Structure 1
Amino acid sequence: MQDTFLGHSEVFWVGAQALIAAAGLLGLFAYVLDTRKMRLLQTEMRRASFTPVLSVSKQQVKPSQRTLTDSDGKEKRDLANAIAKVTMDGYYDLTLDITNIGQGPATGVAAWVTQVSSKFEFKGDDLYPTVKEAQYAQTAPMQVARDETTNFVWSQICGTGAALFIVECKDVALGTHQLQILAVPDGRQSSRNLDVEARMIHARGDTFGERLIRFLERTRDISRHVDRILATFENSD
């Protein structure tokens, strides 16, 4: 009877160790998931400490003073755009005062505009690439410091439809960010007003350095937890 019990006891201990190992794996997975949430929170807080956030604080629209050439080769003013009351059927200049209300500086700033369909709408959180037809701003700084306000000037924008203005910048970790501005003429006769919709889009994990740091941090945490489990088994022996 005792030999039979001892024989079955070996099976019992093997099964018990298997259960302990399974419980350890479940604990490891739970720890990894919990650690991932904490890491994401820490990453967001760390990124927020150096992320620029651009905001439009003021806009000014005025008719463009375009110079054309008539059939005789003489220059003449586009009077339709030079008069005081101008409709958006012509061309306009746009000046935007943009303030960096984020925690970090905006570096490597580039600003451009492209014509879009009147049915264009912002969808998702995509960054818009430059296109061949893009028109770059005549005045734009290379850097916008924290709490700094500076102006961006675009000239001779076609007023027959909607326009998408992009102010793109980098943070200190080389992450890409865009202030996206959709400007649509309000359509009223003798009006120089624009209906403007603006949003700030931040790229997430778009730099190799950020991905590498997160990978090393997760690998280190998993390795430490595995070491604790192995040490527990060694102590139980």
Structure 2
Amino acid sequence: PSMTGSRLGQPLDQLMQLDLPEINGLHLHNLCEQGFDPLARTVAAIEPYLSAHKGRFQWLNLGGGHMLTQPDYNTEALIALLKRLSSDYAAQIYLEPGTAIAFDAGILVGEVLDVTDNDGPIAILDISATCHMPDVLEAPYRPAMLNEASEDGVNVTLGGPSCLAGDVIGTYTFPDMPERGQRLAFLDQAHYSMVKTTTFNGMRMPSIAIWNSQTDALKLVREFNFSDFERRLS
């Protein structure tokens, strides 16, 4: 978010030149899946501005992107920083919930519909990168697949069933060529997939289910069908 040319926010050097007496809080967000040190550098960068307007701000929002649930996150340093900021500037301090609270939660399960070859093995799944896991194309990134084989095996490109030429999840290694009907599970899919799914091409959204790892019980929460696509049309 703080890269050169970003449409988000106001560059700090420009903010320093503005007189905005009606503003009583400051919101910053320039982290993404980061530890404590980048936050400390960010706070150090904005403190001259905070000091110049000491007593003016009632709240300070440090945004999201803090990987608080990671074992190596320096929580003690974070707590000390938040306490100091609150004390020094008499402001309410906020941290936004982010990926950390749902990190490694949720899997997206798909099924192989067809296998083909076009300058390499291809498997078509019933899940779509553009419809069900759009961050694969937007970020972009390659989602981890459960039980992916090591380097030895067959490299297969996995694609979705939509008409979009770029509806490709990625290339994965299998012990053997996957077969029709074989199920595949992609990991860490809870935090963005459900809120960003689309019904492009009339694609059905994935059913939502809760699995109890202790009892192996599976509870179906919701299923979707073509009527959900129809209701979204203008």
Bin for the TM-score computed over the shorter chain:
under 0.3
Q: Which has the higher helix share?
A: 1
Q: Greater relative contact order: 1 or 2 (C-alpha under 8 angstroms, separation 6 or more)?
A: 1
TM-score where L is the length of structure 1: 0.20
Q: Which has the larger radius of gyration?
A: 1
TM-score where L is the length of structure 2: 0.20
Q: Which has the higher strand share?
A: 1
